[in-house]
Amino acid sequence: MRIGLVYDLRDDYRAMGFSEEATVEFDSIETIDGMAGALERLGHQVDRIGHGKKLAQRLVLGDRWDLVWSIAEGVKGRCREAQVPGLLELYDQPYAFSDALTMALALDKAMAKRVVRDHGIPTAPFMVFDNAAGDAADWEHFPAFVKPLAEGTGKGCELASKVADRSGLINAARALVLRFQQPALVEAYLPGREFTVGIVGNGDDARVLGVMEIFLNQHADQGVYSMRNKEESEQLCYYEAGKDATAALVAERGLAAYRALGCRDSCRLDFRCDASGSPVFMEANPIAGLHPTHSDLPILSGLNGISYDQLVALILDAAMDRYGMGGAELQRLKRRKVG
């Protein structure tokens, strides 16, 4: 099968003058090599297309693929992760991962929380702050946590994000609005354990790959899985497979959120426990990082007995299954009854 690979490469955007923070969501060449290598070892031909504009040029020229595998984040706007899926649908080109609606919904964290909350899945109290101090006039949940509304990879999540009073909230939110040119999301701070759960498959056939608990060492930014902690995770964090009753509840709620948001093929969903120890939905990542050794989803999979190549095969098989192309690895996972 001929697979087109679409991605935003960090080095490309650095060469254009983008800052380190602006490129943190984009992928390293090691990630692209890892994915391409896995797909080739699975017997497929890989065409490295590059970013969304290069994809558009190729589509206009008439190029087509059996399937497009896109992890492109896009550059600007809360719908940026939906741009490539929307383009592919315009040209009736089969592709892996979620559609444009789910991509946009998940990136806007407040919209995702509303949908998940309406499906009965716990979320922390939250509000959207957009410049005016009046936005915070009725907020009473302290400590609070403030972060950009539509960013990933921990951008804007730092020690200063945790605030103790209304004055601190307003100052932190205004700073983020100015820095990222978008509204800020304000949430009641969750003080408990932090988990992430990986899902693969579609609809009733979606399955949990496993649950992973995230721990911070003494040198890490404490109380927050910050951008610094994520970028330097090998030195600042360690991870364990979640196997207890709380992890099982994360798996159950993660699968319910995956379905509520209409995720396809694969997604990683993040949870943190409240003061009573109950896991609360934070966000969904429908194009989770896929660096073979650094990204949470491959680490999570490895801790639960699934190799990197098997993970790639499972995601690919889920997409192929949707298009009636088969999917042997996915069928094996179903027989294992994971999740």
User: What pLDDT score does 135 carry?
Assistant: 77
User: What pLDDT score does 138 carry?
Assistant: 87
User: What pLDDT score does 334 carry?
Assistant: 52
User: What pLDDT score does 137 carry?
Assistant: 84
In this prediction, the residues of the chain whose per-residue pLDDT falls under 50 are: 337-339
User: What pLDDT score does 170 carry?
Assistant: 93
User: What pLDDT score does 86 carry?
Assistant: 98
pLDDT digit string, tens, across residues 264-308 = 999 999 999 999 999 999 999 999 999 999 999 999 999 999 999
Q: How far, in Å, CA of 75 to CA of 274, rounded?
A: 33
184 sits in the region (left: phi over 0; alpha: psi -120 to 50; else beta) called beta
The two tokens of residue 108 are 């806007």
User: What pLDDT score does 45 carry?
Assistant: 98
User: What pLDDT score does 153 carry?
Assistant: 74
- Burial of 62 from C-beta contacts in 10 A (0-12 / 13-18 / 19+): exposed
Q: CATH says 2-95 is which class? A: alpha beta
User: What pLDDT score does 339 carry?
Assistant: 40
The CATH code for residues 125-188 is 3.30.1490.20
> Which residue has 């984040």 as its token pair?
73
Question: Is-contact 316 36, C-beta < 8 A?
Answer: no
Q: How far, in Å, CA of 322 to CA of 327, rounded?
A: 9
What value does the mean pLDDT of the chain take? 93
User: What pLDDT score does 329 carry?
Assistant: 54
Question: Is-contact 271 122, C-beta < 8 A?
Answer: no
Architecture of the domain defined by 194-336: 2-Layer Sandwich (3.30)
User: What pLDDT score does 133 carry?
Assistant: 63
Other beta carbons within 10 angstroms of residue 94's beta carbon come to: 17
User: What pLDDT score does 294 carry?
Assistant: 94
Domain boundaries in the chain? 2-95, 125-188, 194-336
User: What pLDDT score does 241 carry?
Assistant: 98
Percentage helix, strand, coil for the chain under 3-state DSSP, each rounded to 5 = 40, 20, 40
pTM: 0.92
User: What pLDDT score does 327 carry?
Assistant: 59
- Burial of 208 from C-beta contacts in 10 A (0-12 / 13-18 / 19+): buried
